[in-house]
Amino acid sequence: MALKNKKIVVVGGATGIGFAVAGKALDAGAKVLIASRSQESLQAALCRLGPGASADRVDAGDEQSVRDFFRRVGSFDHLAMIIKAALPHDTFLSSDLNAVRAAFETKFWGQYRLARHAAEWLRPDGSMVFTSGVASRRATPGMSVVSAMNAATEALARVLAVELAPIRVNTVSPGLVDARPLDPAQPERLQKLVQYVPLARLGGAAEIAEAYLYLFGNAYTTGSVMVVDGGVAC
């Protein structure tokens, strides 16, 4: 198996899609280190993941924290970056600039810092996977900030695929996702989103996680954006 005994770091691995990536990587025989800002969340996730997983705290908003984190990790094979941000949903003209800056600081610059300091420690046949979102390719009123942030993430990853080669650099672009286990009794708000999905349901965290595993394992894929959105961007 392509991932057997590989060392995989999942930033944002304590919950949601990141947790699903960690679980699938463990199932594939990898050694997995999950990381996030919350020590409590990390400990809870470790209890659920079981043997083969470890955890360490990192704050992607703090460059020194990121630098020290990767020094502790040492050499490794693959990095997944799944960072959540408070996403503004206002129109362009009514957006709060402080909220806009905060969103970019968390999701874009957080991944930027992680990639910058991970590159020194990734093995030459390894990879890093960014996370964007389907708003980068679907124009939706009220989503200008989210669209710009995700598009910037994808553009950065494409350039890094050239600059950092032979390290592979890719991006996963999720669509509308219920990061909890799939449940037909979803809240009304989530049900309303289904009307925008050709497959008529939200994606599950485990389904999105499969894209990260593919990008870890396929040695001839780099500079790509893997869209997993149920057809939203069609």
* Residue (of 128, 227, 138) closest to 177 by Cα position: 227
DSSP per residue, 62-99: -HHHHHHHHHHH-SEEEEEE--------S-GGG--HHH
Residue 1 lies in a domain: no
CA–CA dist 26, 181 (Å, integer):
18
Averaged over 164-187, what is the pLDDT? 78
Residue 24 lies in a domain: yes
Torsions phi, psi of 127, nearest 5? -155, 160
Give the bridge partners for 128, in sequence order. Answer: 79, 169
pLDDT digit string, tens, across residues 7-61? 999 999 999 999 999 999 999 999 999 999 999 999 999 999 988 899 999 999 9
Q: Per-residue pLDDT for 220 more than 80?
A: yes
Q: Reduced to 3 states, what is the DSSP secondary structure of residue 201?
A: coil
Q: Is 154 domain-assigned?
A: yes
232 within a domain of the structure (yes/no): no
Whether the model clears a pTM of 0.85, i.e. scores above it, the answer is: yes
| Domain assignment present for 151 | yes
Query: By C-alpha distance, which of 99, 132, 130 is closest to 114?
Result: 130
Q: Is residue 71 part of a domain?
A: yes
CA–CA separation, 40 vs 42, rounded Å? 5
Give me the domain span that covers residue 63. Answer: 7-227
Q: Is residue 149 part of a domain?
A: yes
Angle between helices 109-118 and 63-73 (to 10 degrees): 40
Number of domains, the chain: 1
Q: How many CB atoms lie under 10 A from the CB of residue 136?
A: 22
Cβ atoms < 10 Å from Cβ of 230: 22
The CATH number of the domain holding residue 203 is 3.40.50.720
Average pLDDT, the chain: 91
Q: Which of the following is catalytic: 36, 41, 127, 132?
A: 132
Does residue 208 sit within a domain? yes
pLDDT digits (tens, 9 = 90+) for 58-117: 999 999 999 999 999 999 999 999 998 777 677 888 888 888 898 899 999 999 999 999
CA neighbor of 20 nearest in space, from 2, 45, 47: 45
DSSP 3-state of 56: strand
Specify the 3-state DSSP secondary structure of 41: helix
The predicted pLDDT at position 180 comes to: 55
Is residue 65 part of the annotated active site? The answer reads: no
ω into 166 cis (within 30 of 0): yes
